[in-house]
Amino acid sequence: MAKKWGHSLRKWIAVKMDLPQDVMMDLPRITMIGQIHIYIENHRGLLTFTDKELRLLLKKGQLLIKGKAFVIKTILPEEILLEGKIDQVVYINDETGGS
């Protein structure tokens, strides 16, 4: 019960203080430009990378990106910029996140 209440409190604070919910709720921020660039902030680490697949650990779950000719242009502890032809972006909701 306390976990659910904490989630509600964070959401209420975000609304009252006019803060972005992704910041307050520790969610990833994903910015795509067409099918050629994807920028992900607030991830918990790189799990898999090939020229056709990128998998990131999130606080809750994982983010899977599939496509072709992938190149990591920038990688920082909580940010990544990927270029290539992006075909799929899939959120995998599991309880083995990086909390």
Q: List, for residues 42-53, the tens digit of each pLDDT value.
A: 999 999 999 999
Residue 57 lies in a domain: yes
Tell me how far CA of residue 56 lies from CA of 17, 49, 62, in angstroms. 30, 9, 6
The pLDDT of residue 37: 97
Cβ–Cβ under 8 Å, residues 58 and 89: no
> Can you give the CATH number for the domain in which 65 is found?
2.60.40.2000
Residue 61 lies in a domain: yes
Residue 66 lies in a domain: yes
Residue 9 lies in a domain: no
Residue 80 lies in a domain: yes
Instruction: Output the pTM of the full model.
Output: 0.73
Q: Is it the case that residue 92 has pLDDT exceeding 80?
A: yes
Q: How does pLDDT run across 7-35, given as a tens digit for each residue? A: 676 666 666 666 555 555 678 999 999 99
Residue 78 lies in a domain: yes
Q: What percent of the chain has pLDDT over 90?
A: 64
Domain range spanning residue 67? 27-92
